[in-house]
Structure 1
Amino acid sequence: MKPILKLVLAAAVACVATTASAAYPDKPIKLVVPFAPGGTVNLIGRLLAERLSHSLGQQVIVENKGGAGGTIGADFVAKSAPDGYTLLLASSSHQSFHPLLYKKLPYDPNKDFTQVALFAAVPNVLVVSNNVPAKNVREFVAHAKASPKKLFMGSAGNGSVNQLVGELFQHKTGTGFEHVPFKGAGPATVDLLAGQIDLMFVNLPNVIAHVQSGKVRALAVASARRVSSLPDVPTMAEAGVPDFVVDSWAGVLAPAGTPKAIVDKLSIEINKLAKDKATIDMLAAQGAIPLPGTSVEYGALVRFETERWSEVIRKANISLD
């Protein structure tokens, strides 16, 4: 192909891309939630889709593609057209600790996505069965160290954020628990209510109703500040465990190669929504908090989380096939 023809074709492609970006969006957008309906990320995704539909003037449709710890839905988005019409509501696992846990993924977590914006976070909370006598974290740590048998810690599965937060707590407090992986936080919560396991580190929305009804006891939230829905529950720092802020966050990823103009437009709109009072109130009703953040801030958070979880995973010797 002659050089002049190459330049003409390149200019034509750039012109089409610019025009498409300017008109974006001119059809419905698919927001893939890589987990089954009913979970925390799903609730946040549906809230974001509803608010973003009004903001963008086009319907944003949530599509649940669960399985394999969120990797099936992520793989679908990674291999979708980079046109801004297929997005992923990613959890903190997708780019921070999945690459550390899985020996082989069907996509490259860092090269196959473009970070668009952060949106919301969910506090993790330490909850214990009513069979556990401790009323606060200090008593709980003393009880765990004095118990002749290890306490049973439930989680949503091997390599889940529940397990990782629990491993971090054990490292910081010198305690040791017997990890019991379940197929999701829901089944684990059922066994916690029944007293079959002793404790969980879990997303607040999964257990807030049970805490408020007194069926389980919340000892501390792993957040920078107390949450409005449980004002009497201290933060980990207040409870005597410093440097223990571990929120589970959610942000939007697009396939790599998505035009910058589209990424920037989405980032601006999502950040506006995350700062809007109506959105903040809706998130609070779900036990979540806003976490606005640009694509640059998203990348910085991923780097921080990757470094932190790399150490936890290494010390706990966690690996998945």
Structure 2
Amino acid sequence: MRRRLHDLMCRIGRRAGRALGPLVGAAAIVAAPSALAQSVYPSKPVTFVIPAPPGGLTDQLGRVIGDRLTARLGERVLIDNRGGAGGNLATEFVARAAADGYTILMGTQGTHAANQYLYKSLKFDPAKDFIPVHSLLSISTGLVLRADQPYRTLKDLVDYARQNPGKLSIASAGNGTSSHLVSELFQRTAGVKFLHVPYKGSTPAMADLLGGQVDLSLDFTASTFPHIQAGKLRALVVTGPSRESMLPDVPTMAEAGYPQAQAVAWIGMFFPAGTPKPIVDRMQAEVSRTLQEPAVVETIRRLGGASFNLAGEDFAAFIRAEQSKWKTIIEQSGARLD
């Protein structure tokens, strides 16, 4: 009886195998193109979408890294500048792009940490619609004032500002920009109040600072250094975690007694959500190597930044911390952009 049952089960198994064979083969054929596409990635040009017009910091960095990745990947890296709406236009475009590894966003502190709190409604979710690939650069700002002003240290400035709330004015590149938000962070940490004067970019803000129309400004070191070197401006503090190579004698916020006011602007690479892991892994590895190339290191130094080497979950965890920090500051300041 047992033998007959065994023979019967074997015959059923052989018939089922013959019936399923074509289906299994078909599934393998369907899966093969996807697996093959990943194994030969990239097989066509890759596009970096930059949420800013040509010429800015993000654009300059993107072009240099794109050139180096072209050599590493064996396919051209194209640059697509899509400025506007604080980077939201470019970010939405990439969020809706095919998740095949051929469209990459050069995201920023704004697009992935601050904008969701500055705008009432976005057509993308920074957390759900993207895969953080790799950080690229961090850059601190410096609190500067005209060299003829009496404040020699940050303590001097804070002491005066506490006794005269709202009397000192501080320029920014515009509402919701990095310079604005970092100034709000510092004011709340130090217990001071400045008069915020927003401009349409850092260039007119710097012109008015030099001309005496405003008292203070927070700007990137690469922008302020020529004026500091010429004796027109004085830097009291830098906001990053370490001193700037261009300004080795200027203390950090932590050294000046305000570690909670430490902040950096940053740039990183993002794929649309759903991009296959082998493609993400390949890009992470190539970017990590690219950041060590002398030409890239020199570009980052020239831009006043520092290499920022976080990948995958480490980068994602950093972004979550940034979102929490800027959410609080934006809500406290009441800053809105729509």
TM bucket, shorter chain: over 0.9
Structure 1 residues 243 and 8: CA distance shift in structure 2, 3 A: farther
* CA deviations over 1:171-197 (Å, ceiling 9, x no partner): 111110111111222222222222211
Judge which range, 57-66 or 116-125, deviates more.
Answer: 57-66
SS in 2 for 1:275: coil
Which residue is equivalent to 1:56? 73
Aligned counterpart in structure 1 of residue 123 of structure 2, from 87, 102, 106: 106
Aligned counterpart in structure 1 of residue 106 of structure 2, from 89, 94, 100: 89
SS in 2 for 1:292: coil
Answering whether residue 110 of structure 2 is matched by residue 79 of structure 1, we say no
Give, in whole Å, the separation in 2 of the partners of 1:151 and 1:7.
74
What is the Cα deviation at residue 9 of structure 1? 6.2
Map residues 115-194 of structure 1 onto 2, 5 A cutoff: 115-147=132-164, 149-194=166-211
Does the Cα contact within 8 Å between 1:114 and 1:255 map onto a contact in 2?
Answer: yes
What is the Cα deviation at residue 266 of structure 1? 0.5
Does the Cα contact within 8 Å between 2:237 and 2:253 map onto a contact in 1?
Answer: yes
Structure 1 residues 246 and 149: CA distance shift in structure 2, 3 A: closer
Give, in whole Å, the separation in 1 of the partners of 2:219 and 2:187.
15
For the aligned residues, what is the CA RMSD? 2.1
What is the Cα deviation at residue 213 of structure 1? 2.2
Does the Cα contact within 8 Å between 2:166 and 2:195 map onto a contact in 1?
Answer: no
Aligned counterpart in structure 2 of residue 66 of structure 1, from 69, 79, 83: 83
Does the Cα contact within 8 Å between 1:131 and 1:195 map onto a contact in 2?
Answer: no
**Count of residues in Structure 1 that have an aligned counterpart in Structure 2:** 319
SS in 2 for 1:111: coil
What is the Cα deviation at residue 278 of structure 1? 4.2
Give, in whole Å, the separation in 1 of the partners of 2:278 and 2:55.
33
Answering whether residue 326 of structure 2 is matched by residue 309 of structure 1, we say yes
Does the Cα contact within 8 Å between 1:84 and 1:258 map onto a contact in 2?
Answer: yes
TM-score by length of 1: 0.92
Which residue is equivalent to 2:256? 239
* CA deviations over 1:117-148 (Å, ceiling 9, x no partner): 11111112111233532121111112222337
Does the Cα contact within 8 Å between 2:189 and 2:260 map onto a contact in 1?
Answer: no
Does the Cα contact within 8 Å between 1:275 and 1:292 map onto a contact in 2?
Answer: no
Does the Cα contact within 8 Å between 2:166 and 2:194 map onto a contact in 1?
Answer: no
Aligned counterpart in structure 2 of residue 17 of structure 1, from 30, 34, 41: 34
Give, in whole Å, the separation in 2 of the partners of 1:282 and 1:291.
13
Judge which range, 179-188 or 68-77, deviates more.
Answer: 179-188
SS in 2 for 1:61: strand
Aligned counterpart in structure 2 of residue 299 of structure 1, from 299, 304, 316: 316
Task: Could you tell me which runs of 5 or more consecutive residues in structure 1 were left unpaired when the two chains were aligned.
Answer: none
Which residue is equivalent to 1:43? 60
Structure 1 residues 82 and 238: CA distance shift in structure 2, 3 A: same
Q: Answer with 1 or 2: which has the greater Rg.
A: 2
Aligned counterpart in structure 2 of residue 255 of structure 1, from 239, 252, 272: 272
What is the Cα deviation at residue 293 of structure 1? 1.0
TM-score by length of 2: 0.88
Give, in whole Å, the separation in 1 of the partners of 2:142 and 2:23.
58
SS in 2 for 1:154: strand
Task: Could you tell me which runs of 5 or more consecutive residues in structure 2 were left unpaired when the two chains were aligned.
Answer: 1-19
Judge which range, 25-34 or 145-154, deviates more.
Answer: 145-154
Give, in whole Å, the separation in 1 of the partners of 2:146 and 2:180.
17
Aligned counterpart in structure 2 of residue 210 of structure 1, from 201, 220, 227: 227
Judge which range, 202-211 or 167-176, deviates more.
Answer: 202-211
Which residue is equivalent to 1:28? 45
Supply the AA of the counterpart residue of 1:130: A
Percent identity between matched residues is: 39
SS in 2 for 1:15: helix
Structure 1 residues 5 and 136: CA distance shift in structure 2, 3 A: farther
Structure 1 residues 87 and 145: CA distance shift in structure 2, 3 A: same
Which residue is equivalent to 2:7? none
SS in 2 for 1:303: helix
What is the Cα deviation at residue 28 of structure 1? 1.8
* CA deviations over 1:30-59 (Å, ceiling 9, x no partner): 111101222222222122112222222222
Give, in whole Å, the separation in 1 of the partners of 2:194 and 2:24.
64
Which residue is equivalent to 1:273? 290
